[in-house]
Structure 1
C-alpha cells in the first residue's frame, strides 16, 4: 500500500536535548492506519501530530480493547539513525493483537511506515549522549457501540517522543517492593504475556504503596501461590545465585521482553549459565542469607538494565551486592547500549538501519 504524507504547516520548536525527560514531548508528525470490517487495514499515512477523532462510545474506552509497543531509534556518532530489534516489537504486537482479537497487521508494512515516519522526523532524533527517540505504536478499537464483542473498526497509530538519558547522573541501583496482596495478571490463560494497558492499570495500586514506603518499583509474585517471582513493574528480572543466572520462565503471565531475550542471548554467548525457571521469593531470601545472592537487575526498553540494590518482602529487607551495581549488570548495560548507539559492532543482527 502507498503511504501518503501530509506535512505540518506549523512545525514545533525543537527541545533542549539536555532537558528532555521522558514521554512529555512529541514530534511534528504521526503515522496512522485504519481498519474496517470487509476492507481490512487501509489508508496508511503520515499526518501532523494531533488528536484522534473518537466517539464517546468507542470500544477501547469501555472494554479496553487496545494494545501497544515501545521501542527506540538511536543516532550514531556519524549521524545515522538506527533501530534496536524493531521486527521483534512488531511480531509481539501481532501476538498481542491475536489475544485481544484485533486483526493482525503486515509486519513489513509496519516497518516501512516506521522508517518513513522517522525519516521525516529525523531532526527530532537527539544526538546528546545517551538520548534517543522513543517510539510508541498502538492500536485502539474505535467502533461506537456499547457491547462486549470485538470491534469492527480500529486505528493504528505511531507517535514519537525524544527522550533524555535514563541515567543522567550514573546508574543507581533501585529499591524493589515485593507485592504480596495484589495480583498483576493470572498465571496462565490471562493477559500477562501481552502488551495491553489493562496490565499496567492493574499495577498502579501496588506502585502507589511501594512509593509510599520509599521503594521505586514493584516485584510481582504469581497469582496462584503468591510465592514465585514474575516481573518488576515494566521490566523483566534476573538474579545471579551462586554463579547461576536465573530469570522467571515465560509461562503465560510474564511479558516476553525483547531486552530480556537479548540479555539471555548475550549472556549465553559469554558462556554463562542462564536458567529460565520458577524462582520463589523464599529461595531468594535463603540465597541472600547464605551469601549466594550475588546480583540482580531488571531489563526493559527504557532503562535497558536497571540494577537492583534492595528487596523488601513483608518485614524482610534484603540488600543485594551492598546496594551497588554488579559486574554483570554493568557489562550488559555497556554492551547493549554500545550496540544500540553503534559504538561497537553488532554480532547478532539486532540493528536495523533507518536513515
Structure 2
C-alpha cells in the first residue's frame, strides 16, 4: 500500500509542479507590469507564499478530519481557481485581482508541501527521509518543465486571445485540475486514515494537540520547524528577485526560464540523495551541509551579480542547499510528535515555512531597489547564520525516533 501511495503522490506532484513552475517567475513580471514598478514585483512571491501559508493549517485540519485524499484534491482545485483569476486580472488590468489570484494559486504549494508529509504516514522510521524525498524529487519533472512553457504559453495565449504573460497560466489551470483528479481517485484507502486506524487504542493516551501546543512543549519540534522556515525564506528572497534582475540586464524570457529551471532542478532533483543522507548520516549533518551550500550561493550572488553564468550557478547551489535543509528538516518535523499530533504540527510547519517565504519575498523587492542584487545576497546570509548556530547547539541524542 505504501508503494501505491508513493506512486499516486508522485503523479500528483508532477502535475502540481507543472502548474506552479509555469507561473512562478511570470508572476513577478506580471506584477511589475500591472503595478508599474519593479518594487512591487516581489509581491508575486509574497502572495503565492502567503496563500500557501493561509492554506496550510486548514488543509492539515481537513486531512486530520477527512484524510489526505480530500485535503490534497481540495487544495489543487483552489490553486486552479487562482490561475483563472490571475488571467482575468491581466485582461482587466487590476493589480489587486492579480494578487488575489496568486494567493489562491499558492494553495498548490501547500498541496505539494503536504504531499511530502503524506509520504511518511505509512513509512518506517528508518526510511522516512527516503520516502519523503522521493515525493519531493518527483516535483522536478513538472517544476523544471513549467518555466520552459513561457514561450509556448505565450503562443497558446495569442491563439486563445489571452493578455501577454498569461498564457502559461492556462497550463496551470489544466495541470491543477488533473492533479485534483489524481488525488481524489488514487488515494483510496487514505494513507493517513489507515495509519490512524491501525493504531491500538490507548485510553491513557493524551488527546490530540494543536500544532502550537506541540511547539510550546517540544524543543526538537521548534528547531525542526525553524530550520524549514528559515531555509525557505533564504531561498525565496534571492530566487524571487532573480527574474527581475536578469530582465533588467537584458536577458530574454528564454534565458530567465532556463535559469529558474536549473534552480528548481537543484531544489528537487537531488532530494533522494539528501533523503538517504538524512536517514543514514543524520538529520543535523544533512542540515549543516545544506546551510553550507546556501552560504556559497549567497556569496556568489553577491560577488558575481553582473555575470549570467555566476547568477545561474548561484541559483543551482541555492536550490541544492534548500533541498538538503528542507528534506532533513521535514523528516525531523514528521518524527517530532506523536501520530495523532503530526498533521497539526505539519500544518504549523508549512504555515511557518510559507509565512517566512512571504516575508522574505515582500522585503526582497525593496532591498533589491535599495541595495541591488549583490546586497540582497549578502543580507540573506543572516538567516543562514541563525540556522547554523541553532544546529550546532542541538543535543545529539533526543528521545524521539530517527537518526540525528
Between structure 1 and structure 2, the one with the greater Rg is 1
TM norm structure 2? 0.28
Of Structure 1 and Structure 2, the greater helix share is in 2
Of Structure 1 and Structure 2, the greater strand share is in 1
Q: Which has the higher contact order (CA 8 A, sep 6+)?
A: 2
